[in-house]
């Protein structure tokens, strides 16, 4: 665990409306065999991802993703216009566990973000959420809300 | 927020004075744009314009976004 005073890893986890979960998984399935990716937005005071922004994978790869920068800009503007902020990013691992890879950890840009992984390895997709602070990965609970 | 500046570089300098440390996140030691940051003038990536020398006009919007990437490999 992180030391005292590091509030960014504290908290109750990520709240995910079932509609957002469905949009996220649908986008990852539609992107297959490439990794699918997108951004999650919500009220920054509450760790609730009320909006899903599917984005293009600019890397166009089954093993890498890059959120298309212009899609990121549009999502950021749309969220801001709705009084929301980008809270995190999701992407799929098509053949591996839903756990951040060394690449994911090395490139995680924001310690306040939620990093959501969608694994398509098994028949039923599995979804996990993590905080990544200074290279330290901590899984957080995902609470599905109606 | 609203700041003054004739170029994207000047806008970033103006932001550095109100948000110390920002330039260090956006620029490399030699003063060019960090590769893990995307800077937009309105809808255009300044890398495809004149980078930090890109001219800005009244009402233009400069956006600074982290590059978001990763993957299973």
Q: Could you tell me if residue B73 is inside a domain?
A: no
Q: What is the pLDDT of residues A79-110, one digit of tens each?
A: 999 999 999 999 999 999 999 999 899 888 88
CA A146 vs CA A14, A16, A42, A76, B25: distances in Å: 14, 9, 15, 25, 38
Which residue out of A65, A69, A118 would a mutagenesis test of the B interface target, given it has the greatest number of B Cβ atoms within 10 Å?
A69
Q: Could you tell me if residue B2 is inside a domain?
A: no
Q: Could you tell me if residue B53 is inside a domain?
A: yes
Q: Rounded to whole angstroms, how far apart are CA atoms A54 and A38?
A: 4
Q: Could you tell me if residue B27 is inside a domain?
A: yes
Residue A11 distance to chain B (closest CA, Å): 23
pLDDT at A109: 81
Chain B residues whose beta carbon lies within 8 Å of the beta carbon of residue A77: 63
Contact B68 A70 (CB under 8 A): no
Contact A89 B68 (CB under 8 A): yes
Q: CA torsion angle for B27, B30, B31, B33 (degrees, to 10)?
A: -50
Q: What is the DSSP letter of B47?
A: G
**ipTM at complex level:** 0.87
The three-state secondary structure class of B11 is: helix
Helices (H) and strands (E) in chain A, counts: 3, 9
Along the 146 residues of chain A, how does pLDDT read in single tens digits?
A: 444 444 444 467 999 999 999 999 999 999 999 999 999 999 978 899 999 999 999 999 999 999 999 999 999 999 999 999 999 999 999 999 999 999 899 888 889 999 999 999 999 999 999 999 999 999 999 999 98
Q: Could you tell me if residue B54 is inside a domain?
A: yes
- The range of the structural domain enclosing residue B14 comes to 8-66
The separation between CA B70 and the C-alpha centre of its own chain, rounded to angstroms, equals 22
Q: Could you tell me if residue B30 is inside a domain?
A: yes
Contact B68 A72 (CB under 8 A): yes
Q: What CATH number has the domain bearing residue B58? A: 3.10.20.30
Q: Is residue A95 within 8 angstroms of chain B, CB to CB?
A: yes
Q: Domains of chain A, with CATH numbers? A: 13-145 (3.40.140.10)
Q: Could you tell me if residue B44 is inside a domain?
A: yes
Averaged pLDDT in 10-residue chunks for chain B of 73 residues? 94 94 91 92 96 96 94 82
Residue of A63, A108, A110 lying closest to B71 (CB–CB):
A63
């Amino acid at each position: 665990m992180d030391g005292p005073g590091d509030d960014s890893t504290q908290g109750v986890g990520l709240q995910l409306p079932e509609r957002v979960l469905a949009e996220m998984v649908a986008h990852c399935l539609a992107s297959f065999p490439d990794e699918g990716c997108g951004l999650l937005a919500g009220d920054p005071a509450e760790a609730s991802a009320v909006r899903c922004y599917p984005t293009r994978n600019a890397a166009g790869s089954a093993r890498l993703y890059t959120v298309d920068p212009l899609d990121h800009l549009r999502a950021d503007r749309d969220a801001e216009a709705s009084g929301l902020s980008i809270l995190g990013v999701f992407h799929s691992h098509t053949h591996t566990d839903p756990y951040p890879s060394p690449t994911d950890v090395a490139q995680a840009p924001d310690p306040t973000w939620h990093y959501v992984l969608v694994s398509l390895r098994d028949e039923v997709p599995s979804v996990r959420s993590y905080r990544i602070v200074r290279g330290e990965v901590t899984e957080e609970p995902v609470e599905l809300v109606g | 927020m609203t700041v003054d500046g004739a170029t994207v570089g000047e806008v970033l300098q103006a932001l550095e004075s109100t948000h110390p440390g920002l330039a260090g996140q956006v620029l490399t030691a030699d003063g060019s744009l960090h590769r893990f940051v995307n800077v937009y003038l309105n809808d255009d990536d300044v890398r495809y314009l004149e980078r930090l020398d890109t001219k800005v006009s009244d009402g233009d919007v400069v956006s600074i976004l982290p590059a978001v990437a990763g993957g299973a490999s």
